[in-house]
């Protein structure tokens, strides 16, 4: 279950890769650091191949597709093994496809109107994106005070420097981001650095959440 995994380690690293082997190595490195819920963003030609390879070759991973812009993309990602779908914005077509196919979906929201639309689509967890540029922790607290039972997944500008501040907000189920998979470390083949970043995030999360 995604929720159980996120309770243990409330951090979702982003994987953006052009190469299947790199994607698998990155996922294994993240897993070695304690992160098992992985979002492959559909921003490269090879993204769906990378997603499928992680789903097949990284046994303990829960892999989802990010940057999903349409119901068609959500369907394709599902066919390749995606267990959840993340979108930058709120699109009814994507949400409805996921709901009718038993896929968890986390659409991006920023404003009260968007959160309210998501609520009325039956969602109880949404992405808060781009978190830092949209008011960060104070904005999240303001939204949480109104939408009592809505949970949030902030992404966009989350880093090791502010992770604990976000996780200290009770409505935050997890934080997502690319800070765990720095391109320069991956290009250099330094997967130990990726594991160290994942381990660090898990440790910081433990300090806040116990
Ligand atoms: C996303 O797709 O959620 C964002 O690109 C994450 O933003 P970040 O790169 O600042 O972590």
Q: Where are the domains of the chain?
A: 2-198
State the distance from the centre of ligand 1 to the C-alpha of 157, rounded, in angstroms: 7
Q: What is the pLDDT of residues 44-82, one digit of tens each?
A: 999 999 999 999 999 899 999 999 999 999 999 999 999
Beta-carbon neighbour count of residue 43 at 10 Å?
Answer: 12
Enumerate residues 6+ apart whose C-beta is below 8 A from 210.
none
Do 42 and 67 form a contact (C-beta atoms < 8 A)? yes
| 3-class SS of residue 172 | strand
**pLDDT mean across residues, the chain:** 97
Q: What is the pLDDT of residues 162-175, one digit of tens each?
A: 999 999 999 999 99
CA-nearest residue for atom 2, ligand 1, is 67
Tokens of 30: 């993240």
Q: What is the largest CA-CA distance in the chain?
A: 46
C-alpha 141/C-alpha 84 separation (Å) is 25
Which atom of ligand 1 has the smallest separation from the CA of 159?
11
Tokens of 34: 């304690």
| 3-class SS of residue 51 | helix
| 3-class SS of residue 39 | strand
The pTM for the full model equals: 0.97
Q: What is the pLDDT of residue 1?
A: 78
Helix (H) or strand (E) holding 141: helix 136-146
Chain centre distance of CA 46? 19
Beta-carbon neighbour count of residue 4 at 10 Å?
Answer: 8
Which CATH superfamily, name and number, covers 2-198?
Aldolase class I (3.20.20.70)
Q: What is the pLDDT of residues 31-47, one digit of tens each?
A: 999 999 999 999 999 99
Which atom of ligand 1 has the smallest separation from the CA of 177?
11
Q: What is the pLDDT of residues 68-121, one digit of tens each?
A: 999 999 999 999 999 999 999 999 999 999 999 999 999 999 999 999 999 999
State the distance from the centre of ligand 1 to the C-alpha of 106, rounded, in angstroms: 14
Q: What is the pLDDT of residue 166?
A: 98
C-alpha 201/C-alpha 12 separation (Å) is 10
| 3-class SS of residue 153 | strand
Q: What is the pLDDT of residue 65?
A: 98
């Amino acid at each position: 279950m995604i929720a159980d995994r996120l309770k243990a380690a409330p951090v979702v690293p982003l994987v953006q890769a052009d190469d299947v082997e790199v994607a698998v190595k990155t996922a294994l490195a993240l897993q070695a650091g304690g992160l098992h819920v992985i979002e492959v963003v559909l921003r490269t030609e090879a993204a769906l191949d990378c997603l499928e390879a992680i789903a097949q070759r990284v046994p303990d991973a829960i892999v989802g597709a990010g940057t999903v812009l349409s119901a068609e993309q959500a369907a394709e990602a599902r066919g390749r093994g995606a267990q959840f779908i993340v979108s930058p914005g709120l699109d009814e077509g994507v949400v409805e496809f996921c709901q009718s196919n038993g896929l968890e979906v986390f659409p991006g929201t920023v404003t009260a109107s968007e959160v309210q639309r998501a609520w009325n689509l039956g969602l109880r967890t949404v992405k808060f994106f781009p978190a830092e540029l949209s008011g960060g922790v104070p904005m999240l607290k303001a939204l949480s005070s109104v939408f009592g039972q809505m949970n949030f997944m902030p992404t966009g500008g989350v880093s090791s420097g502010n992770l604990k501040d976000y996780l200290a907000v009770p409505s935050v189920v997890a934080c997502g981001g690319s800070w765990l998979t720095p391109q320069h470390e991956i290009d250099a083949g330094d997967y130990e650095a990726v594991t160290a970043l994942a381990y660090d995030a898990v440790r910081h999360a433990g300090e806040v959440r116990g």
